């Protein structure tokens, strides 16, 4: 029996007050190599240790131990990256989405970062530190309109940087009148652990790692040679590495030898890392698009009772279509991390809440269908007079002092 795809009418009907709460897409996954294969979950820092995140979840009518394979923030980042990828390929629907871009000038040419790539979207520190037409962005009328959005009217964000309305944003450094938007879209991947008995410490498998140098198993340098090598590479090494190697060379005796492993020379013998992978008997990916969250957004004092002319409903439907597009694009590529290759065990189950315990099931989301839905929603919102998406970009010049002092090292 074929299933219907989600239509614009479905969105409009459920974005009136009192409509369904959510649209979900749930998929059963499995290790690509087969059930015998382990998978590498997401790692988190706990003090000085790298750990996995274990939780108790309600699975198959029973509380079971699971591990977080991909977090909510990571899944959102993948959805945003998938939309940006579609833009780069020139996909008709996503190129129409308005966005903000901060551009840094580097020795290798300009480098752009969009509001879908930066953590706080349009309110990210990289935007706040930038300039427009040679003046601080905080003096720009268009940006001030974005920061001054209120729950009563989010129109400025909708037409300039709508990513904030769907994926969430927080103007956290502003002293007052901060815009705070929770994400209307969340997703995650969890694994139900094969071993439900041992404690978390013993469940955490370790993985072996090594580095093989085809030239030499070990490179031992004199202090003078180490100093010379560091001087030659100083422009490309981190300041922390340079300081450590020079201190090492300076304090070493002339007849001693110093390992060059910190400069990527020589082999590293196999060692067991703190965290490796786990065995899962079930892996579940879930997405939740909250229609209830979108219904909290308003776009002016539109009191029209007619659904087909209501600007608020049209704008919410547009954001919902964008959310479904993000899900479809993110689901299309199961790219997580090394040693975590997964495949779909079955088709995603897409469900619309219809209140009072009733649910309606739809066909799995495809990019082709999601693009068509987004194009229809864009046109509908334009006809309603609430949004005009034509790929407009709010351009910001990045602060040169930030890029000049950027480093790949974590702060201590």
Neighbours of 57 (CB within 10 A): 12
List, for residues 95-127, the tens digit of each pLDDT value. Answer: 999 999 999 998 889 999 999 999 889 999 999
Mean pLDDT of 157-182: 91
Q: What is the pTM of this model?
A: 0.86
Q: Is the pLDDT of residue 389 over 60?
A: yes
Bridge partners, residue 64, by sequence = 57
Reported as a pLDDT band with limits 50, 70 and 90, residue 196 is confident
Mean pLDDT of 261-285: 78
- Give the per-residue pLDDT at 202: 45
Contact 325, 333 (CB under 8 A): no
- Give the per-residue pLDDT at 403: 81
* SS3 letters across 51-92: ECCEEEEEECCEEEEEEEEECHHHHHHHHHHHHHHHHHCCCC
Q: Among residues 162, 183, 116, which one has the least CA distance to residue 329?
A: 116
Mean pLDDT of 14-25: 95
Mean pLDDT of the chain: 89
Cα(299)–Cα(157) distance, rounded to whole angstroms?
10
Q: Among residues 47, 211, 196, 185, which one has the least CA distance to residue 116?
A: 185
Cα(238)–Cα(236) distance, rounded to whole angstroms?
7
Q: Which residues contact 230 (CB under 8 A, 6 or more apart)?
A: 237, 242, 245, 246, 249, 263
> For residue 320, what is the enclosing H or E element?
helix 311-332
Cα(412)–Cα(409) distance, rounded to whole angstroms?
9
**DSSP for 97-130?**
S-EEEEEEEETTEEEEEETTTSTTGGGSHHHHT-
List, for residues 331-386, the tens digit of each pLDDT value. Answer: 999 999 999 999 999 999 999 999 999 999 999 999 999 999 999 999 999 999 99
φ and ψ at 400, to 5 degrees?
-65, -30
């Amino acid at each position: 029996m074929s299933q219907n795809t989600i239509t614009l009418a479905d969105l409009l009907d459920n974005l009136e007050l009192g409509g369904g709460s959510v649209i979900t897409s749930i998929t059963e996954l499995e290790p690509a190599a087969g059930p015998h294969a382990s998978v590498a979950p997401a790692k988190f820092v706990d003090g000085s240790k790298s750990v996995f995140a274990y939780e108790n979840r309600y699975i198959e009518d029973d509380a079971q131990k699971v591990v977080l394979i991909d977090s909510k923030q990571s899944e959102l980042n993948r959805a945003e990256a998938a939309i940006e990828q579609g833009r780069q390929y020139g996909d008709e629907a996503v190129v129409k989405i308005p966005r903000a871009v901060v551009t840094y000038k580097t020795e290798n040419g300009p480098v752009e970062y969009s509001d879908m790539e930066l953590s706080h979207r349009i309110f990210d520190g990289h935007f706040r530190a930038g300039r427009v037409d040679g003046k601080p962005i905080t003096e720009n009328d268009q940006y001030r309109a974005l920061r001054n959005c209120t729950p009563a009217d989010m129109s400025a964000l909708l037409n300039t940087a709508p990513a904030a309305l769907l994926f969430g944003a927080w103007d956290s450094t502003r002293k007052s009148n901060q815009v705070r938007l929770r994400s209307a879209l969340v997703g995650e991947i969890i694994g139900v652990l094969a071993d439900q008995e041992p404690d978390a410490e013993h469940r955490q498998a370790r993985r072996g790692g090594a580095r093989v140098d085809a030239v030499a198993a070990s490179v031992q340098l004199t202090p003078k040679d180490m100093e010379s090598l560091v001087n030659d590479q100083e422009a490309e090494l981190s300041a922390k590495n340079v300081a450590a190697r020079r201190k090492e060379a300076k304090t070493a005796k002339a007849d001693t030898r110093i390992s060059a492993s910190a400069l990527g020379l020589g082999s590293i013998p196999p060692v067991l890392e703190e965290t490796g992978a786990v065995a899962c008997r079930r892996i579940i990916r879930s997405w939740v698009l909250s229609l209830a969250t979108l219904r909290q957004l308003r776009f002016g004092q539109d009191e029209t009772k007619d659904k087909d002319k209501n600007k608020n409903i049209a704008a919410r439907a547009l954001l919902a279509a964008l959310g479904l597009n993000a899900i479809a694009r993110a689901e299309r590529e199961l790219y997580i991390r090394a040693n975590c290759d997964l495949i779909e065990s079955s088709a995603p189950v897409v469900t619309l809440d219809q209140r009072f315990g009733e649910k309606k099931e739809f066909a799995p989301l495809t990019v082709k269908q999601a693009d068509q839905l987004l194009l229809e929603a864009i046109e509908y919102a334009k006809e309603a007079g609430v949004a005009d998406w034509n790929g407009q970009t709010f351009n910001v010049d990045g602060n040169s002092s930030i890029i000049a002092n950027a480093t790949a090292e974590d702060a201590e």
